[in-house]
Amino acid sequence: MYSQELLKPDGRPLTLYSRYPIAEGIQAPSPGNEPIRANPHLRWHPLRGEWIAYASHRQGRTFLPPPEYNPLAPLIDPHFPTELPQGQYDIAVFDNRFASMTRVAHDPPSSIVETLPANGACEVVVFTQDPESPLGSLELDHLDLLLQVWADRTRILGEHPQIQYVLPFENRGVEMGVTLLHPHGQIYAYPFVPPVPARMQERQQAYYQENQRSLLQDLIQKEIEDKQRIIYLDEQAIAFVPACARYPYEVWIATIEPVATFIDLTAKQRRGLAKALKTVTLKYDGLWKRPFPYLMAWFQAQTDGQPHPESHLHAEFYPPYRTSDKLKYLAGTELAAGMFANDALPEEKAKELQAVSIILEAGVRV
Amino acid sequence: MYSQELLKPDGRPLTLYSRYPIAEGIQAPSPGNEPIRANPHLRWHPLRGEWIAYASHRQGRTFLPPPEYNPLAPLIDPHFPTELPQGQYDIAVFDNRFASMTRVAHDPPSSIVETLPANGACEVVVFTQDPESPLGSLELDHLDLLLQVWADRTRILGEHPQIQYVLPFENRGVEMGVTLLHPHGQIYAYPFVPPVPARMQERQQAYYQENQRSLLQDLIQKEIEDKQRIIYLDEQAIAFVPACARYPYEVWIATIEPVATFIDLTAKQRRGLAKALKTVTLKYDGLWKRPFPYLMAWFQAQTDGQPHPESHLHAEFYPPYRTSDKLKYLAGTELAAGMFANDALPEEKAKELQAVSIILEAGVRV
């Protein structure tokens, strides 16, 4: 992996990542030259026991710009300034202009509830220079690089003493509220372990203490034995519709053996995950022969510098559709009670995805 | 309050509620005469530590039927059979045909995760016979009756030993996935305390043990002193944008003094809540002069027969819009991490709602 750190005219860092050496002297552009003045803060929700981020400068953020203006494409016409330079690189990472958390947040307003500066980071990860190449179309080497980039960001962000948790994710499709269609994901780095990973960690720690094994590892063994819901399987990695799917087309990707964070992956495990990731995203797009929207989130151990043998790096995909023309809306029971109601059996949805034939690499059809 | 229990041809119960005596001899219709064969089950999600309901018969449920067919309107033309009879009544409650939980679920399939029959109830609450009268347009007496209906259902459902929690809610608007536009809500009765109320209960119990006071009561006192975010206030009830709002137009309605469940409300408190409810829903609809979508959920104590002095009946409204033409999508940080990022300050959104002038009752402008 090659990388190069640059600074944008508005003060934000930009890191280019590549499978090949990157030329020197690349200038980092930015849509504007004014320093970013975001100063988000957190407020404590006493009834739920969780933090909420307030970033009131976000309301004016870019919203489905015309095709001639793609801020995530390499800069061509200075009249349409973008976030990225030209040059040979595969993946780029920079701070979100419209961040819910920043490293320099300060002086939160006082309120009747507790407040804190929202000291974290919100990064954008542009997966490729090509606006028309979604994850599934990228070469395995390119996806392998993406897994290395996520490891690098986890390391760099996790070294900040104020950051406790690093979450790479991709919101894909207008159905997920995506404002820019160029293939990209995000990384949120939180100054606390957020509620969902905290809950998972609690469950995993309890299981590990009782069994000296990873909860997810044991679940994966049962999925392998049960065979019904597997979408991809090799010696290193697995993709499956979990028996307890909350979304109709939910899929998880994981290493077979537990790995705490992206940083701990072996080259073989990365290759397995890259294949699983390519298989899942190609099958999704193949299912209805159109781009398949989803939220993809990667869960890993918190970045407290402690060993986390209970933790097990994995991705969860939450697609918003329940059939090709019907969305699954989150409403009363999901949002208010927290109990998901799923209209479809995971076994049935797994069959649909299993039936989609894709080409993983030259000569390998899955 | 007057009520009458009927039985539908397909075996489902129907209860009519009214401010006035209800005529005898009303026949309950149903869209079909076939017994409902729903047999939903629950599966345990080991990583999140929560139950998921699977109801695979739900995929074919009614979806935005043409206007001549409104299954929630009183039956007129037998060619278009509906759920409700003609006659003088205000509110009707019946079992959902497409239930995620039923009282008679049995023999759950085996799985690699723990399974249980989904023994609960999913009821539909038709707020009025008039398809064009949303909550805000109903008379205060009618809203008062609705609060009594929620109390009656809480009592009746809560008496089942298998039911632990009763949640009345309304999904309003196509943006919330609503398939029938006739004003109605739902009641879900769960065989466990679902994750969100469980979390609130845990926080409230801890606070009560430390302070011998209701957490929400103390928060409400601070909201009253702070004045900034109040939408409605009288001696009995309050509506406000909470300082820790997760949704831009989030509003809570509560009694000033803590009340554990709908059953415990005094007549005066009911009147206060009815006024707060009418004010909030009218202001919502007045804000952009169009029907305002939301999820409204009422949280109360669990139905375990134990005293819950820590509990404080209240409603939370989660509207999906962040501006008049932009939805707030729940994506990466909300769904995967559980941390909400709110683009708007609660103080600003409260001002917008405060500025909407409505007529609460003859001669009373708020």
pLDDT tens digit sequence for A163-218: 999 999 999 999 999 988 899 999 999 999 999 999 999 999 999 999 999 999 99
Q: Which pLDDT score is estimated for A219? A: 98
Q: Nearest CA of chain B to the CA of A350: how many Å? A: 14
Helix/strand/coil for A284 = helix
Burial of B210 (0-12, 13-18, 19+ CB in 10 A): exposed
Q: Is residue A163 located within the same domain as residue A56? A: yes
Strands B341-342, A50-54: pairing kind? parallel
The alpha-carbon gap from A221 to the nearest alpha carbon of chain B, in Å, equals 10
Which residue of A325, A327, A343 to mutate against B (max B Cβ within 10 Å)?
A343
Identify the H or E element spanning B157: helix B140-158
- Tell me, what's the pLDDT at A291? 96
Q: What is the DSSP letter of B21?
A: P
Mutate to test the interface with A, among B192, B207, B335 (most CBs of A within 10 A): B335
Q: Which of A329, A332, A341 sits opposite B53 (nearest CB)?
A: A341
Neighbours of B109 (CB within 10 A): 11
As a whole-number percent, the residues of chain A with pLDDT over 70 amount to: 97
Residue B79: its pLDDT value, please?
80
Query: Is residue A79 very low, low, confident or very high in pLDDT (cuts 50, 70, 90)?
Result: confident
- Tell whether B135 and B226 lie within a shared domain: no
Which residues of chain B make contact with A215, given a CB cutoff of 8 A?
Answer: 46-47
Q: Are B253 and B277 in contact (CB under 8 A)?
A: yes
Give me the pLDDT at residue B81, please: 86
Please tell me the least confidently modeled range out of B33-37, B184-188, B334-338.
Answer: B33-37
CB contact under 8 A, B337 and A112: no
Give B229-267 as a DSSP string.
Answer: TEEEE-SSEEEE--TT-SSTT-EEEEESS--SSGGG--H
- Under the banding of pLDDT at 50, 70 and 90, the label for residue B80 is confident
- Whether residues A47 and A166 fall in one domain: yes
Arithmetic mean of pLDDT, A73-86: 89
- Residue B200 is predicted with a pLDDT of 98
- Among the candidates A145, A168, A193, a domain finishes at A193
- Is it the case that residue A62 has pLDDT exceeding 60? no
Which tokens is B350 given? Answer: 């409260």
Shared-domain flag, residues B204 and B324 = yes
The pLDDT assigned to A156 comes to 98
Residue A348 CA to residue B185 CA, distance in Å, equals 30
Sign of CA dihedral A304, A308, A312, A316: negative
Question: Residues A361, A212: one domain?
Answer: yes
Mutate to test the interface with B, among A196, A204, A244 (most CBs of B within 10 A): A244
In chain B, residues with a C-beta closer than 8 Å to the C-beta of A204 are: 47
Q: How far is A352 from chain B (nearest CA, A)?
A: 15
* Residue B282 and residue B186 share a domain: no
Residue A37 pLDDT grade (very low, low, confident, very high; cuts 50, 70, 90): confident
Q: Are A181 and A193 in contact (CB under 8 A)?
A: no
Cα–Cα distance measured from residue B202 to residue B205, given in angstroms and rounded to the nearest whole number: 5
Q: What percentage of residues in chain B have a pLDDT greater than 90?
A: 87
Which one of the listed residues B41, B142, B184, B314 is annotated catalytic? B184
CB A314 within 8 Å of CB A216: yes
- pLDDT value for A31: 86
pLDDT in tens, A260-273: 999 999 999 999 99
Instruction: Name the average pLDDT for chain B.
Output: 94
Q: What is the mean pLDDT of residues A225-242?
A: 98
3-state secondary structure B43-78: EEECCCCEEEEECHHHHHCCCCCCCCCCCCCECCCC
Q: In this model, does residue A280 exceed pLDDT 90?
A: yes
Residue B268 above 60 pLDDT? yes
Give the confidence band of B65 by pLDDT, cuts at 50, 70, 90.
Answer: low
Closest partner residue to A295 among B199, B323, B332, by Cβ? B332
Segment A150-170 shows an average pLDDT of: 97
A58 has pLDDT over 70:
no
Q: What is the pLDDT of residue A67?
A: 63
Q: Are A240 and A350 in contact (CB under 8 A)?
A: yes
CB–CB of A343 and B52 under 8 A?
A: no
CATH number at residue B351: 3.30.428.10
Q: How far is B44 from chain A (nearest CA, A)?
A: 6
User: Pick from B151, B166, B194: which residue ends a domain?
Assistant: B194
Q: Are residues A234 and A135 in the same domain?
A: no
Number of domains comprising chain B: 2
- Min distance B211 CA to chain A CA atoms (Å): 14
Nearest chain B residue to A246 by CA distance is B52
Q: Could you report the per-residue pLDDT of B307-323, keeping only the tens digit for each?
A: 999 999 999 999 999 99
Q: Out of B52, B169, B348, whose CB is closest to A342?
A: B52
Contact (CB<8Å) A54/B345 = yes
Confidence category of residue B27, pLDDT binned at 50, 70, 90: very high
Same domain flag for B129 and B15: yes
Q: What is the pLDDT of residue B38?
A: 87
Active site residues of A: 184
Residue after which a domain boundary falls, among B194, B211, B231:
B194
Taking the C-alpha atoms of residue A291 and residue A288, their distance in angstroms, rounded to an integer, is 8
Residue B335 has pLDDT above 70, yes or no: yes
User: Does the distance separating the beta carbons of A111 and B341 come in below 8 Å?
Assistant: no
pLDDT at A301 over 60: yes
- Residues of chain A with Cβ-Cβ distance to B243 below 8 Å are 43, 111-113
Question: How far is B234 from B140, CA to CA, in rounded Å?
Answer: 15
* b (16+ CB within 10 A) / e for A172-196: bbeebbbebbbbbbbbbbbbbbbbb
Using CA atoms, how far apart are residues B299 and A297, in angstroms rounded to an integer?
30
pLDDT exceeds cutoff 80 at B67:
no
Query: What's the N-to-C CA distance of chain B in angstroms?
Result: 28
Cβ-defined contact of A342 to B204 (cutoff 8 Å): no
The mean of the pLDDT values for chain A is 94
B22: amino acid identity, one letter: I
Q: Which of B46, B203, B341 sits opposite A47 (nearest CB)?
A: B203
CA A6 to CA A28: how far, in whole Å? 6
Cβ atoms of B299 and B316 within 8 Å: the answer is yes
Low-confidence winner among A70-74, A277-281, A292-296, B194-198 (lowest mean pLDDT): A70-74
CA distance B139 to chain A (A): 25
Reported ipTM: 0.95
My answer on whether A174 and A289 are in the same domain is no
Rounded CA separation A286/B290 (Å): 39
Tokens of A37: 């003045």
User: Chain A partners of B344 at a C-beta cutoff of 8 Å?
Assistant: 54, 56, 59
Q: Are residues B189 and B43 in the same domain?
A: yes
Domain that holds residue A81: 2-193
From chain B, pick out residues whose CB is under 8 angstroms from the CB of A246: 45, 52
Kindly write down the DSSP assignment for every residue of A141-167, as one continuous string: HHHHHHHHHHHHHHHHHHHSTT--EEE
Per-residue pLDDT, averaged over A46-52, amounts to 98
Whether residue B227 sits in one domain with residue B114: no
DSSP states of B205-237 as a string? Answer: HHHHHHHSS-HHHHHHHHHHHH-TTEEEE-SSE
**Within 10 Å of residue B273's Cβ, how many Cβ atoms?**
30
Residue B69 has a pLDDT of 82
- Asked if residue B183 and residue B229 are part of one domain, the reply reads no
Facing B345 at nearest CB: one of A48, A56, A200: A56
- Angle, vertex CA B305, rays to CA B303 and CA B308, nearest 5: 80
